Amino acid sequence: MRKYRMLRERLSSSGEFAFELAPLAPRETIELAHDHDYVTAFLEGTLPAAMVRRIGFPWSRELVLRTLASVGGTLAATAEALRSGWGGTLAGGTHHAFREYGSGFCVFNDIAVTLRAHPSLRPAAVIDLDVHQGDGTAAIFEGEPGVVTFSMHGRNNFPFRKQRSKIDIELEDGTGDAEYLERLGPALEQVFAARPALVIYQAGVDPLATDRLGRLRLTPEGLLRRDELVFTACRRAGIPVVVTLGGGYSEPVDATVEAHAATFLLARRMLG
């Protein structure tokens, strides 16, 4: 949890960004991607205990506000991307949330809600480079050819039962920079061959070698090169891109904060 505040302070002190408080997402918008009864039970605090356990956070009023702001932040970042070419949120990327339940610290799927809120932007692409598969996003859009879900993740990592994205790349434990980047390039070409009108980037930094949960061996330089490949492809295609935060669990936490900050600073430099 500490990383959120630290990242905000780190980017704030860079003087490179204009910040806006994330608005709370309206429930009607959330229900474009989520089951009405699930949304109601979460908002009212009446989810069954097993469903709360699967999310992984204890329920509280603060969690409701945090969740609504997290989805609202991605919606607002998308509005900014459509205005200026790119927008970012210092939260979001909650890709383990399914239509009818949350999982893995994800309550609602901000990426899915946002794409559903913009049905005219098709095809659209999700580039999910968090070390964990974007299983909720994959499942929500499984029957929608207009949403190209791409996830590159650890084969032996959570979620242990994988869903089917349009493009999945599974990496073995210990994968380092060279192999990671070699596999990313052609997959990005495949994504952009679909000529997406919008890209949502889940830029999780948990592929870092220092990550407690990641099981991969990327260096900070390799991770930044990853972001550069993504932003270069977006810039070439001339399409709006939304940067969402995703996971990051390095010990000490500073490595995670620095990696997230590097992603946003690079976006600023490359995308304006």
From 54-62, 110-118, 190-198, 201-209, span contacting Zn ion (CB under 5 A): 201-209
Among 3, 132, 166, 226, binds Zn ion (CB under 5 A): 132
Nearer to Zn ion, 114 or 256 (CB): 256
Among 69, 152, 247, 267, binds Zn ion (CB under 5 A): 247
CA angle 129, 238, 92 (to 5 degrees): 35
96, 132, 153, 260: the catalytic one is 96
Nearer to Zn ion, 106 or 124 (CB): 106
Which class for 4: exposed (0-12), middle (13-18), buried (19 or more C-beta within 10 A)? Answer: middle
Q: For the chain, what is the radius of gyration of the CA atoms?
A: 17
Nearer to Zn ion, 226 or 239 (CB): 226
Alpha-carbon gap, residue 193 to 67, rounded angstroms: 34
How far apart are CB 136 and Zn ion at their closest, in Å? 12
Q: Is 204 in the site for Zn ion (CB under 5 A)?
A: yes
Which residues lie across from 124 on neighbouring strands?
147, 198
Among 206, 207, 217, 250, binds Zn ion (CB under 5 A): 206
DSSP conformation class of 106? B
- Whose structure tokens read 């009212």? 44
Nearer to Zn ion, 147 or 205 (CB): 205
Alpha-carbon gap, residue 211 to 79, rounded angstroms: 32
Q: Is 130 in the site for Zn ion (CB under 5 A)?
A: yes
Q: Is 96 a catalytic site residue? A: yes
Quick check: 39 and 30 in contact, CB under 8 A? yes
> Which residues in this chain contact Zn ion in the complex, by CB under 5 A?
130, 132, 204, 206, 247
Catalytic residues: 96
